[in-house]
Structure 1
Amino acid sequence: MASTAETPALAGAPSPRSNRDVVEQNLARRHRNEAIFRFTGLGAILVGIALVGVLFGSILIKGVPAFTQATMTLEVDFDPEIINIPERPVLQASQSVAEYEQALLSWRRRLAFVNWNKVIQASLAKVLPAAADNARDAAGMIASGERIKLRDMVEADPSIVGTTQAVSLVAAANVDVWLKGNIDRTLPQHMQQLSKLQQEWSDELYQRGVISMAFSTALFTNVDSRSSPATAGLLGAIVGSVMMMLIVLVVAVPIGVMAAIYLEEFAPKNRLTDLIEVNINNLAAVPSIVFGLLGAAVFINFLGLPLSAPIVGGLVLSLMTLPTVIIASRASLRAVPPSIRQAALGVGASPMQAMFHHTLPLAVPGMLTGAIIGVAQALGETAPLLLIGMNAFVASVPSTPMEQSSALPVQIYLWQGNELRNFFEARTSAAIIVLLAVMITLNALAIFLRNRFERRW
């Protein structure tokens, strides 16, 4: 009777073959899902790389040509009839320093009032005879800032008056974009930025080799300029950015590292420290424009620091970078094995000695990496700098952090909106390349320092 009762149950049980089929089906589905996930992740990476490649490619295509600029090499006659100035004053024994300075200032004023356009026209007429009868078109072929270059040459060496010197002069911005093909030559003449005669001259001089595409030193040695766009450069913005980054290094890094050491190693674990840690993590996610509003309210309105000065920009960026430095430094301290602390304490070292003699040296590589990445992030910020007035036009190089200045990201913002679109679109991309090069260099330095000083346990 017992075997008879068990027969239906055995008959209804799944066979070993059916169990194997179920397992194989589940295994095949799992492998299929894993393959789909793997290919989806790989596809996402490839799409991301492709988008970054398109971004960098478009910037390079537009920006690289801006590192060369149309330059005209002319035999310049420093004609004494045009440069009609007396000899440069020399300090006499019977003359006071104030009297000498006054005489020198008067001489420089005479030099500034020389008709340098006429000097350029006469030099251009040597290679283009038609330039002698077309003063306006001849003057428009050369960047207006190059008149100052000729003046400075005479001021530095007055003996060149009456001689002929081979001088490389930067061509006007419109000549540059015409030769580079950034202007549609099929447009009607009334829509062109060069006159018909200037167009013909530009093509002729380029074919004869008088105009050539030379490396644009003005991009790195000159400040921004509205009167002479062709010679506008990044020097003032670069110096301003360097000053701000130095302030960030001096302010944010020491404070951030000390705060991380205290919170991680010495602070008691209570509600107050928990609140501080939560706020630090929240500050790391605050939009940068909020820090700009804070800086404008505190540093400019309350403390009265100068508007558009690197000292204010550096302090604002320090506040923005501080949470990043603290978080990275704490993570580096946590990465040090607890056994090192315990061994130091076990041989009689105090908590302070264990921290600064054993734990901190091992955490320095990670701290350096976090600090450099934070500085690189601050270097590219624009929004907080706009709110403290660094979008003002500043045509000078700051000598101290208290003077007005620009910054690289702000200079990019200003050039992007320039009305001379055909010329400054390429200049904007070139400035972006310079900024990216600095940021990539800083990140590479962080990776090098991490690999150089990193210790494995």
Structure 2
Amino acid sequence: MTDVANKFVVEPFSASTEKREKFNRLLKKRYAAEARFKMWGIAAVSVAVVFLILLIGSIVLQGSSAFVTTKVELELTLDPAVIDPQGTKDPKVIANADYNAIIRAAMQKKFPEVTGRQPTRQMMALISSGAGYEVAAYVRDNPDLIGQTITFEVLTDDLVDMLRKGYIDRNVPEADRKLNDLQIGIYDKLVADGTLSGAVNTELLTTGDSREPENAGLWGAVVGSFLTLVVTLGIAFPLGVMAAVYLEEFAPKNRLTDIIEVNINNLAAVPSIVFGLLGLAVFLNFFGMPRSAPIVGGLVLALQALPIIIIASRAAIKAVPPSIREAALGMGASPIQTVMHHTLPLSMPGMLTGAILGMAHALGETAPLLMIGMVAFIVDIPSGFTSPATVLPVQIYLWADSPERAFVEKTSAAIMVLLVFLVCMNAIAIYLRKKFERKW
């Protein structure tokens, strides 16, 4: 009896010990698996952060120098015989004067040792081809200066700017340099007397595109992007919200609505260039709308953003508790009143977030706009929705394809401006979601 009793006492204790040890082993494995999963997650995030830092760092390092340009200070004699021979002070006459001759005279006065046609031409090649227009605009706005000698900072050529920033090696043989010994000697004298220095490149954000890197600016592309997004938002947002409300609140659940929902989801994954081909075939070839215009670009991007806005809006409507609808209907509100007074206001934060994210996605598109001609070289700032224009992504594409070294830093600077726009739009989306978010 004692052996039997001991058997029944020992065996349960032994079995419980084995189960406890097995449980502890399994628990350790689970903790180890969780630790490995956490480690891989941290590693993945770390790799993503490193690549993001490298990407943004390379862009900033290459593009930050584009916000500084090189100018030379000259003593310009505004000869009335050259600018306004009749003394009429007509703005058209003043603007059309030969200001390049005035700049040439100032350079020859500064460097009298430079004589002959070829050396003079090489000396004047250090000055930007657009410098005359800058002086013309200044004198046109200040006609009382005619007849006086003024100190004016003239924009230099992009090669001078590249030399000052260290992108041109002056120690290589003259035949391998884009600036010869005469030009580098003039550059050194200008630096020595303090008349050549760096200045904030206001032209980058205030002027349109140009074939000359030192004169090229982003303002035309910024205005074109703004006008295009206005059209996109004005079309895609109301249509997307109305479609989402109908599909979610009023549409019958049948095969037709199922097909519509599937196609909406499919359209969100269609390559962007397909929308460009659609815009080319419909808006340009069929309706004859103006080529390379913000109105056409906005229509094409609206078609692309519409599925995104519909999907986001439907998700926002689904997030509204059914009890709110039931309470409104129970109080005697009609289905339209329930949607307009309760469902729509409560789901609006999610809808606005989806719309802004859709606009941010549209802002970065290039392929569909290339198909409708917005890749054209546009110098003038667009004045309306039908004016020829380009947008920031296309401007980046054009500058990246240019051979001049100065356009490399301008391309990175344009990417920085585009990233600022995208970050601002995403920040607005987050702010709206937090401000109008309702919790139940």
Question: TM-score band, normalised by the shorter chain?
Answer: over 0.9
Task: Look up the match of 2:28.
Answer: 28
Q: Percent identity?
A: 48
1:214 is aligned to 2:209: no
Q: Which of 251, 254, 262 pairs up with 1:270?
A: 254
Q: Shift of the alpha carbon at 1:395?
A: 1.2
Cα displacement string for residues 42-85 of structure 1 (whole angstroms, at most 9, x for unaligned residues): 11011101111110000001111100101122221112344463
SS at match of 2:150: strand
Q: Which of 149, 156, 164 pairs up with 1:164?
A: 149
The AA in structure 2 aligned to 1:400 is G
Q: Is the 8 A contact 2:123 2:186 kept in 1?
A: no
Task: Look up the match of 1:435.
Answer: 418
Q: How many corresponding residue pairs? A: 434
Task: Look up the match of 2:174.
Answer: 189
Q: Aligned partners of 1:374, 1:132: CA distance in 2, in Å? A: 61
Task: Look up the match of 2:135.
Answer: 150
Q: Shift of the alpha carbon at 1:115?
A: 3.9
Task: Look up the match of 1:62.
Answer: 62
Q: Shift of the alpha carbon at 1:156?
A: 3.7
Q: Aligned partners of 1:121, 1:206: CA distance in 2, in Å? A: 19
Q: Aligned partners of 2:113, 2:54: CA distance in 1, in Å? A: 46
Cα displacement string for residues 282-310 of structure 1 (whole angstroms, at most 9, x for unaligned residues): 11111111111111111111111121111
Q: Is the 8 A contact 2:400 2:407 kept in 1?
A: yes
1:41 is aligned to 2:25: no
Cα displacement string for residues 237-292 of structure 1 (whole angstroms, at most 9, x for unaligned residues): 11111110000111000000111111111111111111111111111111111111
1:75 is aligned to 2:52: no
SS at match of 1:119: helix
Q: Shift of the alpha carbon at 1:187?
A: 2.7
Q: Aligned partners of 2:133, 2:31: CA distance in 1, in Å? A: 73
Task: Look up the match of 1:308.
Answer: 292
The AA in structure 2 aligned to 1:184 is D
Task: Look up the match of 2:218.
Answer: 234
Q: Which of 103, 107, 126 pairs up with 1:120?
A: 103
Q: Aligned partners of 1:16, 1:207: CA distance in 2, in Å? A: 91
Q: Is the 8 A contact 1:179 1:203 kept in 2?
A: no
Q: Shift of the alpha carbon at 1:357?
A: 0.6
Q: Which runs of 5+ in 2 are unaligned?
A: none
SS at match of 1:15: helix
Cα displacement string for residues 193-240 of structure 1 (whole angstroms, at most 9, x for unaligned residues): 2221221222332343212211111111111111x3211111211111
Q: How does 1:166-181 map to 2 (within 5 A)?
A: 166-181=151-166
Cα displacement string for residues 366-404 of structure 1 (whole angstroms, at most 9, x for unaligned residues): 111111111011001001111111111111112121121
Task: Look up the match of 1:284.
Answer: 268
The AA in structure 1 aligned to 2:436 is F
Task: Look up the match of 1:93.
Answer: none
The AA in structure 1 aligned to 2:173 is P
- Deviates further, 368-377 or 151-160: 151-160
Task: Look up the match of 2:309.
Answer: 325
SS at match of 2:113: helix
Q: Shift of the alpha carbon at 1:30?
A: 1.1
Q: Aligned partners of 1:308, 1:83: CA distance in 2, in Å? A: 38
Task: Look up the match of 1:385.
Answer: 369
The AA in structure 2 aligned to 1:410 is V
Task: Look up the match of 2:85.
Answer: 85
SS at match of 1:224: coil
TM-score when normalising by structure 2: 0.93
Q: Is the 8 A contact 1:121 1:132 kept in 2?
A: no
Q: Which of 338, 343, 346 pairs up with 1:354?
A: 338
The AA in structure 2 aligned to 1:246 is V
Task: Look up the match of 2:428.
Answer: 445
SS at match of 2:344: helix
Q: Shift of the alpha carbon at 1:24?
A: 1.5
The AA in structure 1 aligned to 2:44 is A
Q: Quick one: structure 1 residues 370 and 130, their matched pair in 2 at CA, closer, same or farther if it must change by over 3 Å? A: farther
SS at match of 2:71: strand
RMSD: 2.3
Q: Is the 8 A contact 1:257 1:367 kept in 2?
A: yes
Q: Shift of the alpha carbon at 1:26?
A: 1.4
Q: Is the 8 A contact 1:117 1:139 kept in 2?
A: no
The AA in structure 1 aligned to 2:19 is N
Q: Is the 8 A contact 2:71 2:197 kept in 1?
A: yes
Q: Aligned partners of 2:178, 2:310: CA distance in 1, in Å? A: 54
Q: Quick one: structure 1 residues 361 and 86, their matched pair in 2 at CA, closer, same or farther if it must change by over 3 Å? A: same
The AA in structure 2 aligned to 1:43 is A
Q: Is the 8 A contact 1:88 1:158 kept in 2?
A: no
Task: Look up the match of 1:94.
Answer: none
Q: Shift of the alpha carbon at 1:353?
A: 0.7
SS at match of 2:80: coil
The AA in structure 2 aligned to 1:350 is S
Q: Shift of the alpha carbon at 1:89?
A: 7.0
1:225 is aligned to 2:210: yes
Q: Aligned partners of 2:13, 2:138: CA distance in 1, in Å? A: 104
Q: Aligned partners of 1:384, 1:34: CA distance in 2, in Å? A: 45
Q: Aligned partners of 1:132, 1:452: CA distance in 2, in Å? A: 70
The AA in structure 2 aligned to 1:51 is F
Q: Is the 8 A contact 1:295 1:312 kept in 2?
A: yes
Task: Look up the match of 2:397.
Answer: 413
Q: Aligned partners of 2:400, 2:85: CA distance in 1, in Å? A: 42
Q: Aligned partners of 1:324, 1:260: CA distance in 2, in Å? A: 11
Q: Aligned partners of 1:404, 1:160: CA distance in 2, in Å? A: 36
